[in-house]
Amino acid sequence: MGMDITVLAVDWAHLVRIPPDERLTVLQQSAYPDDDDDDDTGVDAGWVWPAEEDRSWLGRYEFAGTLGSYKPHFWAGQAWEDVRAAADPALRAAGDAFLSALIWPGPDPGADAEHVDPGLFPSLAPLWRSGPLIARGPDVVARLGRCWAEIAASLPDLREPYARNAASPGRWIADFEEFTRLLSGWGEVVREAERRWWGLVGLPL
């Protein structure tokens, strides 16, 4: 789990107009500016919206306290695995649907959930890194928005069960506050993409 992740909200109508075999390369090239004098990497948390017109079709979200690493997302999925049995059925269903679409392998042992919409990237070469970790179009994002509304309303109920079943001092996601902060970041990504009727992409950059 040594990889990084760059999470983007993406204008899906623009993305699908790009020739399919070029989409990943264009996303990789557009995620960060080429010009060192136009550096937009100084944001520690929240959205970065490029000023350049040719990059205005995407925005980048920086998760607080993660330093761009995928490890906190992996451990948040593990924490959900540890605490989900204590959630009420509605919260468990919403959490399962939300996290298995993004960062969690899913509730079935040995059956990793698919995090990339099929057919979007027919070619994974040539790439700077391996293919996308996450790619979800506007329809899926809208469904995730509904899931997040359910999660956000009920998540505080998991504080005590989390302390008993999932807290792990010294781990990337050490306690309920860090778990909630990371999930709330994903909620913000989903809400903003849904508001624009965009999709979202997570690249190992």
- The 10s digit of each residue's pLDDT in 116-136 is 898 888 765 544 455 678 999
| Residue where the block lists tokens 């997040």 | 148
**In whole angstroms, what is the distance from residue 104 CA to residue 197 CA?**
24
What is the per-residue pLDDT for 132? Answer: 77
Domain assignments of the chain as residue spans, ordered by start: 14-32+45-203
* Residues of the chain above pLDDT 70, percent: 91
Whether 39 shows a pLDDT value over 60: the answer reads no
Within 13 A of 71's CA, how many CA atoms are on the CB side? 11
Give the distance, in angstroms, between the CA of residue 199 and the centroid of all CA atoms in the same chain: 11
**In whole angstroms, what is the distance from residue 65 CA to residue 172 CA?**
9
